[in-house]
Amino acid sequence: MTEPNETRPLRVLVVDDSAYNRQTITSMLESREGVEVIARATNGKEALKLAFDLEPDIITLDLEMPEMDGFSFLRLLMSRRPIPVLVISGYAQRDNVFRALELGALDFIAKPRRHISPDIRNIEDELSNKIAMVRRLHAVRLKQRAESLAAQGARPKGSSGSEGEDEVSLSGEPASVVVGIGSSTGGPPAIQQLLASLPADLPAAILISQHMPARFTKAFAARLDRVVDLHVVEAAEGQPVCQGVVYIVPGSSNLEVESSKGGGSVIHIVEPQPTRAGALPLTPSADHMLKSLSSTYGRRLVAVILTGMGSDGTNGTIAARRQGATVLVEDPSTAVMPGMPHSAMEAGTVDRAVPLEKLGEAIVEAVERHKRN
């Protein structure tokens, strides 16, 4: 595809089977300077032809459509001409969102309900911000990541991590080493690929701060738990930090850990504090989590920054390095969105920058080294 540049408008294809939805999304986009809606489609079949003929910079996509649904559209688009796709989906379709991300979608926006209504304006700023980030995107990595996940295949197992289950009462050996991972745009498929490359007997706990709305992280944890060898849960107040468990920080919250009297540590879920301007910061925050992990685990922390826009995680890696932790980042040249790992590298906190395909090996090496020391 032709890379977008700063001198011409971002060209958007809007795909939705609802005429009202198409018009509302178009209106929101075209109210922003530097954005042009070049076409609209009612189903995946029509959208494919328009995508191949017009080569838009980005596509907004509804997943539930007649003739050809969003999943079939994504498979064909990514196999023939990878173009960034932003899914706009209701909260009820949480699992569908993660399936779309695995097929190569860039990101998603949660709309209040299945059919757009006047309160859709609540997502206008988020839509504008996520459309704009395509100028800094490595689009070809979306296709490569989808191919990597397809090659791994699903590895179903007897999962205890169903979305409705209470996971507070975890038990297991307290983790003496922890891996703290921060990610944002492009993160869910990258996290899945990374966790699938790690052994089930990894002698560490893994805590993940992925920017994601509330009500999606529990579904994300349950989906991961079904397809990777490690046990994955949504983190909850009072959980012990156990070896071999992956904890996903709840959406719209932050995570801290505190040493417990019996050894090990426990998790605290905290509400984000407004900034001086009164706005809530982006959550879950990798900075917040890594600072807490650094304070509690010190040299026994492996801090990892994956794909994402912005600089979240950089201050956390600064705290980690001060305590003697190992800091790894996904190589910015191969990340879907290089902002977060590049920011950490510019701060001088990084021990190694590693392509995602090799990052699992680097984490295992770092964990084993910290266990010995």
- The residue type found at 324 is G
Contact 226, 159 (CB under 8 A): yes
Minimal CA–CA distance to 296: which of 267, 271, 318?
267
Determine which one of 292, 312, 331, 342 is catalytic: 312
Contact 208, 249 (CB under 8 A): yes
Decide if 62 is catalytic.
Answer: no
Contact 234, 269 (CB under 8 A): no
Contact 323, 299 (CB under 8 A): yes
Determine which one of 211, 288, 342, 370 is catalytic: 211
Residue count (the chain): 373
Q: Which tokens hold the place of 336?
A: 């879907």
Decide if 252 is catalytic.
Answer: no
Report the alpha-carbon distance of residue 340 to residue 286 in Å, rounded.
Answer: 10
Determine which one of 89, 148, 183, 184 is catalytic: 184
Could you tell me the end-to-end alpha-carbon distance of the chain, in angstroms, rounded to an integer? 48
- What is the residue whose two structure tokens read 């190992």? 326
Decide if 18 is catalytic.
Answer: no
Q: Which tokens hold the place of 65?
A: 């459509």
Query: What is the number of alpha carbons within 13 Å of residue 175 lying toward its C-beta?
Result: 35
Q: Using CA atoms in the order 346, 285, 133, 150, what is the torsion angle rounded to 10 degrees?
A: 100
Report the alpha-carbon distance of residue 114 to residue 65 in Å, rounded.
Answer: 12
Cα dihedral sign, 296-298-302-305? positive
Question: Phi/psi class of residue 295: alpha, beta or left (left: φ > 0; alpha: ψ in -120 to 50)?
Answer: alpha
Q: What is the CA radius of gyration of the chain?
A: 20
Q: Which tokens hold the place of 109?
A: 């926006």
- CA distances (Å), 294 to each of 29, 113, 200, 251, 289, in order? 41, 40, 24, 22, 9
Active-site annotation, residues: 184, 211, 312
